[in-house]
């Protein structure tokens, strides 16, 4: 302990002697650790923590799984009204069992799209609401009576849409042109704002929002999320066992239905719809911010390595006097860890401010418990300690590897010797990691452009989309399609099981019969014959799908241009036969221009289109129309309601769907762009610091060279050439790593393909980084070349 205290005292004295380099080291480490902790705070709050702040350890979220021929329609874990009512009456291990559901509605005369929550009365208690800012919550009578037209709104909704009107209570809230009386306003930051900006309605008012189509008494629709709190002393295992016994009793009157229930802690990572997205988002964001931390550590290592050159004589004297190398290693690592510890307050400030920054970036974001907790501070402490050791390890080892005689003579070189090799490796590593982040930034900017840029050929503003759930017979489904086509302004109607807006269809392995062209994964979209006409896509070869293409035997297929070019670069696709592992045979009858649009007007590669059956499973409906969309939406919704409750949601335009997808994805794009910019700044600062320090150490050598006839151009060229090799090596390694990562499976879940094989991001990144590095090295090189030889020779 005495030796450790002496090391700390010496480290503080060293900071006082070299305040500039010490401050740069502390700030660099603090920024790297703080960014990591801030991003971890956001991801931890959004994905891994229970969504409540009151008693989160007892909070439970029920995931129901229905199976069998009589299973109700279910998206992901919801429960029917009857099953919820039965569990609420009989369960003994959970208190305050509550239900909620999300719906879409149009707010007010401006028809803004909002997401009200339909909730039971116990919802506010389960989410820890002990008082309201104004008014009250729902009464038991309002929650039990169908058609209760009352609403509670959030503080955020009150301020944004009602200008913080003090007399808001009692005023009407128009949702889908239905008036709901505002009876309460929740305080700011209420955890129950799990979706949207914060509108809560009694769940019994659901029929009023869906034009009288009721899910309350529908045993074929599971639409309620169920949550609650464990009673004191009850384990999750005991509660889950009781719930499964109760739900099996509900299965008994319904032959052909089997139900099971799993309990989670309410974290969003456990939701089936979130898990695939999290598989893409979490490694991407943590990997990106992790690279920034590694670059920051490399930057600090370069600074410490440069300072180690100045301390060579000190270290050599210590070794010559008999100090052990292990003792010196501990002293040097203590110094670097101290730098990381001194940067902790700044790191904590960044981690604390990151949630506020993300909320300011996304004002309508639901509530997430993103305040730093013990896990965040543990992560920050571990990251700080690791960064301090990692940043100081290489300089410390290099300081102890030196030979005593040259070190005592203080002979310095720029890019020669063991310390210079370490500098070269660190510079190359920094550049390589910067390339990875910058290439990712370029690819994501391409995604951003694809999400924002409209596809003029589609004219997405005049294509209406709506989900459908065809429960009736094929004849009734055909009647509904005919009624939609007869609506005023509608020019074309199509439907698809998987459309470009929602995904590329089910992927299957296909091969060309009789050709050694290899297997490819093809996304087959089941669509109606009018699909291409509705989306204004031209058939460039062959023909479109016909209504009789679904006969027995060989199925007809229309393929996209990228798929045709991949298999038949010289033509000959029309009439070709394709096999699948399950022995289905497809005949190519047409090629469609490009790929049909996904979110933002881009596409999924290697698509094909087959004819959908007459009564297809749930999918997407598309209507091309002329005129105003708002006047058509209500008529389309009313017509679709005949197909079932799941088809009664309000239709929207393809343009609005693109904008919604872009709004969800663009914050992540902006985050990656910010991390890429941070990485390049850190890398350039490190390169500048190393070159400047090395030039200063070679002042006498430069003076000798200039006295012997070297020109200023020769000096500049010498300095630039010695720093170019590690930069070029780092760029080459970075391009290989960036390509490998972009082609990996992790990027299969992006809403728009990244197209990692496109060369322009790599070319732009290479040119930009090379130019920036050269300019960075040119500044100290020109400064050195401008010094008179006599001044240089007197430097020592």
Residues 135 and 23 in one domain: no
Whether the predicted pLDDT of 88 surpasses 60: yes
pLDDT digits (tens, 9 = 90+) for 442-456: 776 666 666 666 566
Whether the predicted pLDDT of 414 surpasses 50: no
In a 13 Å sphere around the CA of 396, the CA atoms on its Cβ side amount to 19
Tell me phi and psi for residue 395, to 5 degrees: -60, -40
pLDDT at 661: 65
User: Can you tell me which residue has the tokens 């009464």?
Assistant: 139
Q: pLDDT-based confidence at 516, cuts 50/70/90?
A: low
Rounded to whole angstroms, how far apart are CA atoms 315 and 323?
9
The C-alpha angle with vertex 568 and arms to 567 and 573, in degrees rounded to 5, equals 105
461 part of a folded domain: no
384 part of a folded domain: yes
Look at the alpha carbons of 75, 81, 86, 87 in this order and tell me if their dihedral is positive or negative: positive
Closest by CA position to 203, among listed 223, 178, 221: 223
pLDDT digits (tens, 9 = 90+) for 289-324: 777 788 788 777 777 776 666 666 777 777 777 777
Residues 545 and 632 in one domain: yes
DSSP 110: T
Which H or E run includes 359? helix 344-361
CB-CB contact of 253 with 277 (8 Å): no
31 part of a folded domain: yes
The C-alpha angle with vertex 446 and arms to 742 and 28, in degrees rounded to 5, equals 70
Residues 570 and 716 in one domain: no
369 part of a folded domain: yes
462 part of a folded domain: no
Average pLDDT on 618-637 reads 81
Length of the chain: 796
CA distances from 569 to 224, 517, 541, 563, 572 (A): 51, 11, 14, 9, 9
pLDDT at 127: 92
Tell me the two tokens of residue 538: 């031209």
Rounded to whole angstroms, how far apart are CA atoms 103 and 181?
18
Beta strands in 567-658 (DSSP E): 577-579, 585-592, 607-611, 619-625, 652-653
Residues 497 and 638 in one domain: yes
Closest by CA position to 44, among listed 56, 32, 54: 56
Rounded to whole angstroms, how far apart are CA atoms 459 and 672?
30
271 part of a folded domain: no
Rounded to whole angstroms, how far apart are CA atoms 204 and 119?
8
CB-CB contact of 662 with 451 (8 Å): yes
Per the rule left: phi > 0, alpha: psi between -120 and 50, beta: everything else, 407 is alpha
Rounded to whole angstroms, how far apart are CA atoms 40 and 282?
9
pLDDT at 306: 67
Rounded to whole angstroms, how far apart are CA atoms 492 and 463?
9
pLDDT at 60: 93
Rounded to whole angstroms, how far apart are CA atoms 641 and 633?
12
38 part of a folded domain: yes
Residues 683 and 766 in one domain: yes
Residues 42 and 85 in one domain: no
Highest mean pLDDT (candidates 243-252, 414-423, 578-587): 243-252
Tell me the two tokens of residue 598: 């996904």
Residues 485 and 632 in one domain: yes
pLDDT digits (tens, 9 = 90+) for 123-144: 999 998 988 999 999 988 888 8
Closest by CA position to 87, among listed 67, 79, 139: 79
Three-state SS string over 713-730 comes to HHHHHHHHHHHHHHHHHH
Tell me the two tokens of residue 575: 């009439």
Rounded to whole angstroms, how far apart are CA atoms 38 and 35?
5
CB-CB contact of 709 with 791 (8 Å): no
Q: Regarding predicted confidence, which is higher, 789 or 119? A: 119
pLDDT at 288: 73
Q: Regarding predicted confidence, which is higher, 582 or 50? A: 50
Domain count, the chain: 5
The C-alpha angle with vertex 455 and arms to 677 and 741, in degrees rounded to 5, equals 40
Q: pLDDT-based confidence at 226, cuts 50/70/90?
A: very high
Highest mean pLDDT (candidates 79-83, 316-320, 455-459, 480-484): 79-83
CA distances from 391 to 14, 29, 397, 531 (A): 17, 9, 11, 58
Rounded to whole angstroms, how far apart are CA atoms 494 and 499?
10
pLDDT digits (tens, 9 = 90+) for 360-386: 777 767 888 888 888 888 888 888 888
pLDDT at 505: 44
Q: What does pLDDT average to over the chain?
A: 79
- Containing domain of residue 788, as a range? 425-452+662-796
Q: pLDDT-based confidence at 481, cuts 50/70/90?
A: confident
Residues 314 and 399 in one domain: yes
Residues 182 and 238 in one domain: no
Q: pLDDT-based confidence at 525, cuts 50/70/90?
A: confident
pLDDT digits (tens, 9 = 90+) for 265-297: 888 777 766 666 666 667 777 777 777 788 788
Rounded to whole angstroms, how far apart are CA atoms 211 and 727?
65
315 part of a folded domain: yes
pLDDT at 152: 94
Dmax (CA) of the chain: 102
Rounded to whole angstroms, how far apart are CA atoms 583 and 793?
83
Q: What share of the chain is helix, strand, coil (3-state, %, to 5)?
A: 55, 15, 30
CB-CB contact of 290 with 386 (8 Å): no
DSSP 3-state assignment of 415? Answer: coil
Parallel, antiparallel, or unpaired for β 258-264 and 490-496?
unpaired
Q: Regarding predicted confidence, which is higher, 76 or 623? A: 623
Instruction: Find the range with the poorest average confidence among 9-13, 419-423, 476-480.
Output: 419-423
Average pLDDT on 562-567 reads 82
Closest by CA position to 32, among listed 433, 321, 306: 433
Residues 248 and 309 in one domain: no
Closest by CA position to 106, among listed 212, 216, 215, 210: 210
Whether the predicted pLDDT of 600 surpasses 60: no
Highest mean pLDDT (candidates 16-25, 190-199, 730-739, 754-763): 190-199
Residues 439 and 515 in one domain: no
Residues 92 and 123 in one domain: no
pLDDT at 379: 86
Average pLDDT on 656-665 reads 69
CB-CB contact of 715 with 702 (8 Å): yes
């Amino acid at each position: 302990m005495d030796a450790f205290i002496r090391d700390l005292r010496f480290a503080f004295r060293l900071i006082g002697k070299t305040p500039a380099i010490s401050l740069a080291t502390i700030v660099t480490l603090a920024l790297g650790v703080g960014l990591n902790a801030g991003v971890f705070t956001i991801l931890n709050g959004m994905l891994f923590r229970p969504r409540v702040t009151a008693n989160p350890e007892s909070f439970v979220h029920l995931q129901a799984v229905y199976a069998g021929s009589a299973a109700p329609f279910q998206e992901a874990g919801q429960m029917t009204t009857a099953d919820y009512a039965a569990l609420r009456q009989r369960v003994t291990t959970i208190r305050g069992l509550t239900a909620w559901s999300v719906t879409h509605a149009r707010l007010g005369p401006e028809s803004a799209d909002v997401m009200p929550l339909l909730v039971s009365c116990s919802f506010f208690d389960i989410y820890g609401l002990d008082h309201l800012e104004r008014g009250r919550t729902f009464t038991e009578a309002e929650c039990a009576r169908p058609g209760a037209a009352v609403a509670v709104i959030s503080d955020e909704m009150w301020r944004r849409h009602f200008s913080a009107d003090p007399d808001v209570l009692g005023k009407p809230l128009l949702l889908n042109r239905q008036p709901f009386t505002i009876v309460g306003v929740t305080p700011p930051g209420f955890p129950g704002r799990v979706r949207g900006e914060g509108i809560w309605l009694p769940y019994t008012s659901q029929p009023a929002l869906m034009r009288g189509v009721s899910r309350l008494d529908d045993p074929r629709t599971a639409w309620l999320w169920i949550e609650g709190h464990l009673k004191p002393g009850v384990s999750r295992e005991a509660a889950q066992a009781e719930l499964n016994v109760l739900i099996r009793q509900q299965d008994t009157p319904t032959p052909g239905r089997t139900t099971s229930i799993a309990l989670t802690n309410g974290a969003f990572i456990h939701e089936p719809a979130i898990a695939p997205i999290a598989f893409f988002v979490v490694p991407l964001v943590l990997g990106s911010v992790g690279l920034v931390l590694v670059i920051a550590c490399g930057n600090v290592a370069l600074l410490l390595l440069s300072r180690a050159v100045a301390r060579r004589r000190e270290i050599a004297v210590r070794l010559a006097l008999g100090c052990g190398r292990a003792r010196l290693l501990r002293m040097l690592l203590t110094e670097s860890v101290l730098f990381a510890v001194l940067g902790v307050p700044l790191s904590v400030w960044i981690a604390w401010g990151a949630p506020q920054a993300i909320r300011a970036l996304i004002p309508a974001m639901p509530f997430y418990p993103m305040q730093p907790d013990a896990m965040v501070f543990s992560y920050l402490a571990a990251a700080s300690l690791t960064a301090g050791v990692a940043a100081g390890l290489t300089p410390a080892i290099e300081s102890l590897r030196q030979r005593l005689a040259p070190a005592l003579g203080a002979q310095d070189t720029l890019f020669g010797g063991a310390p210079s090799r370490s500098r070269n490796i660190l510079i190359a590593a920094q550049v390589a990691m910067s390339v990875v982040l910058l290439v990712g930034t370029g690819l994501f900017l391409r995604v951003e452009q694809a999400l924002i840029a409209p596809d003029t050929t589609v004219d997405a503003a005049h294509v209406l989309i709506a989900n459908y759930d065809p429960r009736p017979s094929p004849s009734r489904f055909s009647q509904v399609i005919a009624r939609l086509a007869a609506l005023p302004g509608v020019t074309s109607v199509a439907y698809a099981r998987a459309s470009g807006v929602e995904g590329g269809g089910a992927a299957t392995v296909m091969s060309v019969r009789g050709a050694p062209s290899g297997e490819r994964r093809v996304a087959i979209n089941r669509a109606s014959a009018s699909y291409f006409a509705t989306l204004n896509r031209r058939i460039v070869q062959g023909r479109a799908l016909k209504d009789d293409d679904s006969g027995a035997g060989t199925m007809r297929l229309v393929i996209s241009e990228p798929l045709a070019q991949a298999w038949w670069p010289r033509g000959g696709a029309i009439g070709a036969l394709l096999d699948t592992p399950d022995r289905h045979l497809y005949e190519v009858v047409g090629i469609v221009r490009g790929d049909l649009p996904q979110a933002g007007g881009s596409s999924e590669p290697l698509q094909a289109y087959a004819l959908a059956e007459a009564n297809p499973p749930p999918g997407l409906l598309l209507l091309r129309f002329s005129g105003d969309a708002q006047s058509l939406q209500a008529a389309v919704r009313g017509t679709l309601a005949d197909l079932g409750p799941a088809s009664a949601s309000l239709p929207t335009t393809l343009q609005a769907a693109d904008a919604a997808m872009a709004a969800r994805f663009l914050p992540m794009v902006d985050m990656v762009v910010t991390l890429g910019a941070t990485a390049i700044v850190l890398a350039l600062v490190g390169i500048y610091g190393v070159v400047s320090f090395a030039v200063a150490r070679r002042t006498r050598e430069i003076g000798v060279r200039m006295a012997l006839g070297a020109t200023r151009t020769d000096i500049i060229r010498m300095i630039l050439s010695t720093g170019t090799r590690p930069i070029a090596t780092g760029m080459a390694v970075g391009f290989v790593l960036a390509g490998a990562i972009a082609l990996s499976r992790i990027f299969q879940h992006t809403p728009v393909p990244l197209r990692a094989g496109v060369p322009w991001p790599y070319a732009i990144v290479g040119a930009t980084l090379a130019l920036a590095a050269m300019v960075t090295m040119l500044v100290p090189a020109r400064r050195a070349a401008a010094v008179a030889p006599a001044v240089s020779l007197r430097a020592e």
